Structures are given as C-alpha cells and as structure tokens.
Structure 1
Amino acid sequence: MVDTSGRHTQEVQLFEEMKEISHLIKPTKVIFVMDAGIGQSAKDVAEGFKKEIEVGSIILTKLDGTKKAGGALSSVAATKSPIEFIGNGELMEDLEKFDSKRFVSKMLGLGDLQLLAEKLRSVDVDEKEMLKKIKAGQFLLKDFYTQFQQLLKLGPLTKLMELIPGMSGMQMPPEHEFKKLIYIFDSLSEKELNNDGSLFEKEPKRIIRIAIGSGTSPENVATLLLQFKKISQMMKKFGNMPGMSNLMSGENMSMSQKQHLKKQAKNMMPKDMFESMSQFFN
C-alpha cells in the first residue's frame, strides 16, 4: 500500500508527482480519501482528481464532526465514484463500510441494528447463551458486569446509541460516572456477583461496605442495583417473547412470526421507540 500526502486540485506540481507515482507503481486500485467537511465542494475536488488519475473508490472521513456530510455524499455520488468506507472518528474501529440504506437510516434517527449486531459479534457476545440465562431467570450481576465491560469495548456509548432506533441524540452520563460503575463492580465479592440482586434486599448493609470499598456513595451503589433490576426485568420479558431468539441470532423468520413479535413489542415499548423500530419487523 502506498499512501501519498494530501493535496489540493490547484497544486499542479503535486498532481504531477502523484501521476508519476501512479505510473511507476502501477496500482491495482486507487482510493481517494476526502474530508466530508468541504460539503458540496466535494464534487469539484472528486472530479478534479478523476481527471488526473483513475480513482477506483472514495473514503469519506470526519462524518462525525460536520453538518455538511449530506452535501459531501450527494456531491461525490454525482461523480459516479463509489464510496467504499466512511469515517466517524480517528480510530480504525471508526472506519466502516459504506451502505447507503444504513447511512440514511442513521441520519433519520432510525438506528442501524445490523451494524450493532456486527459490533456485538466482534466482542464475542454469545447472544443465545445470554438469552437462555435471561429466559431461565438466571441473569446475575456477574452477567451484567460482563455485558457492561463488552459494551465499553464497542467504543463511545454516544456512538453506540446512534445505532439503536429511538436512541440517537440521547444524553449519556459523563465518562467519570461510568468509571464509578467499574469501581462498584470491582468491589463486589464473588458471592455478590453470583447473585440476582436479592442478596442486597436481605442484607442492605452490604451496600455501605461496597460504597466504602469503591470510593463512591451508598446512593451510587443503590442506583446501580436498581438499574440492574430494571434491565433484568425488561430483558426477561423480551427473552420470553416467541421469536426473539431468532431475531437475536439472525435466523430467518416468517412474516406471521414477525407480525406476532411486532404486536408484542408494541405493548412493551415506549411509543416513539416502537415507531422507529417497526420497520425491522416488516
């Protein structure tokens, strides 16, 4: 792979240099990396490069830091140069394969469940095993902690929320609040981790011990336990819905199964969240 320095269409000397490099190495493919911040000017830039060298595809970067992304995308599309990847940050994991339908879905706040599923698979989340535990009422604090750790590996939670229908733009707690949760989890004993939360209802003094050990407050510990209880109850409801195992594992479902699942989801979800997710049951 040969990476050339950035250049502008008006920099004639640099363009000549780029053509010389292309002639010498005879690349199998030329990928043009473009900043989305230039908006509709992307068309002139892309066309300028195409005139000088055969551009195979385009990578559009910095989509997370500009409001001009739509203009850049439409302008590049006009040049008939395929967009191969888009960048939503500065790390390798922020680079994703471009899919027009999924991109528009995210722009409309409808999320991207397919990308979310891909991210979950990348951190080895065993959906079937977790679903089995949930349905059996065996979702423990240890499982919650494992899922929380896996979630943090997926990148900034604000970006993760964008993939979930109805969650785009949701305000997330600051990073130091998440660190508090890690300190609390790390202060739990093996017995406490292998419990469904009922132990703390029987022995509330444990909350004070954990707060002291984690350098947090009893309120912080109680809030975490309450969140765990709510999530556990909700997950159990979803886990017992017929067809949910197929949906989570990506197996094919018949139209009648989807419609039945859709009806159940409608009765369980907030109206705005259900409306944004309803397309996935069709």
Structure 2
Amino acid sequence: FILLGLFNYSPLHLFLFSIIMVMFLVALSGNGLMMFLINVDSRLHSPMYFFLSWLSLMDLMLVSTIVPRMAADFLLGGGLISFTGCGLQILFFLTLLGDECFLLAFMAYDRYVAISNPLRYSVVMSQRTCWLMVAGSWLFGLVDGLIQAIFTLRFPYCSSQEIDHFFCEVPAVLKLACADTSLYETMIYVCCVLMLLLPFAVISASYLRILAAVLRMHSTEGRKKAFTTCSSHMIVVSLFYGAAMITYMRPQAYHSSKQDKVVSAFYTMITPMLNPLIYSLRNKEVAGALR
C-alpha cells in the first residue's frame, strides 16, 4: 500500500507538521513523566493512579505506533507500507484503542466507589481487582484488534493501492477493497457498539451516581475535590469517545478522507498529549509529587 499522509509540502502544512511533532514530544514526555511520578511517589500508590499509569502507557504506545511512521513518510517521501506492516498497524492501533475504552470505564467505576462508598473502597478496589481490570482491558482490546485486522486483510485489494490517510485505519483501507464489504461493516458496527457504547454506558451510569453522591455531601471542600477529579476524567472521555464514535460508528458511505484524518488526529495525537496535562494541572497530588 501507499499512505498518502496527512500533509503536503506547502508552507502551511510544514507549519502544521511542526505543531504535530511538538505535540508528539509533549505526549511522550508528559506520559513518561506521569508514569515515573506514579511509580516513585508513595502518595500516588492508589488504584486511581494505578489506572492512570496504565492509561499513560497506552497513550505512549498509541502515539509511538502512529506518529513516527507518519513523520518518516513525510520527511523521506514514499509512504510505502507492506501488506503485513499495514495489518500490524491496524492490530496495534485497535488493540490500544480498545484497551483505553475499557480502562476509562474502569477508572469511572473506581471514582464511583471512592466517592459513593469510601469506607469499603480499599476492599472493593483491591490490588487483585485492579490487576484483573487492567488485564481485562488488554484482553478485550487484543481480541477486537485481532478480529478487525484479520478480517480487513482477507478482502482482495486489486485496484488502487493508495490509502488516503496517514496510517492504516480500517475505514480508509476498506475503500480499496474490490469486494462487497457491507456484511463486514455491519460486524465492525457491532464490535464498536460493544467496545465503545458498553464502556460509555458504564461511565455514564458511574458519573450519574457520583453526581448524586456529590450533591448529598455536606463538606464544600469534599464536593469541590470530587468535582475536580471527575471533571478531568469527563474531559478525557468526551474527547476520546467522541472522536472514536464519529470514525467507527458511521456507515462507510458517510466517510470522507479529509474529515477522517482530522478526527483520527484527535485520538491518536491530541488526546494522548492532553491526558497527562489535564490530570496533572488539575490534580494537587500530582502537582505535589512533581514539586
């Protein structure tokens, strides 16, 4: 295949490419720093930060899967990617995307238990439970990635090999298939309902219960702290799930290359960069650990 990329060589696009590379470096350093702080500071050894360290690792892997390849194609030209390389990129990308979907849901449940039932928090969110949740996130993500990668590459590709995208994303690759993909698109839709809407339903239910618990609090300080923590999480969720739903829950006929590239940039570059900034700037414990 030939990846056509995100930019051409106009002055505006050279400027935008520079911004993307700055975002990439911020994402690498921000997520790396979060993982370092959480591991070395004993005050951050709690379930919430345990999940946050895994979120940072996933974001680090996600930007590393997409951006270096895109940058090399832009700087060196060509954009050639092998059939196997394209399949591996689909596998890694969708595995990490699925991991984050479920991890964000588990993080919402963690906040629900911490705020609604603080006396039983250490029992409900035990170390074993936290590890099982992380392992479950990776397992569901891997299964989704394998299914979509294998089925996408089973189609015959006998016409143009030019993918109008900056990485091998399933909707962009399917446009080149010279076979009827309608049944597979239905299967993708079902997978995305499970991988996106089910975790999103858990998040929504958790935050409705959290909101009810916060409104019953008598302590103004406790209410403020709960709102600060949860609003950070909701910003991340809105950015991540919104962009992913637009890409994977629309029929193929409604996809346009330019729109898909912009939306994909949100959850492959912008969200991984913003996650550590949102959590660290709005969190006194992380700021204290940094100092």
Highest Rg: 1 or 2?
1
Regarding TM over 0.5, the answer is no
Question: In proportion to residue count, which structure has more strand?
Answer: 1
Query: Structure 2 length normalisation: TM-score?
Result: 0.29
Question: In proportion to residue count, which structure has more helix?
Answer: 2
Q: Relative contact order (C-alpha < 8 Å, sep 6+): which is higher?
A: 2
Query: Structure 1 length normalisation: TM-score?
Result: 0.30
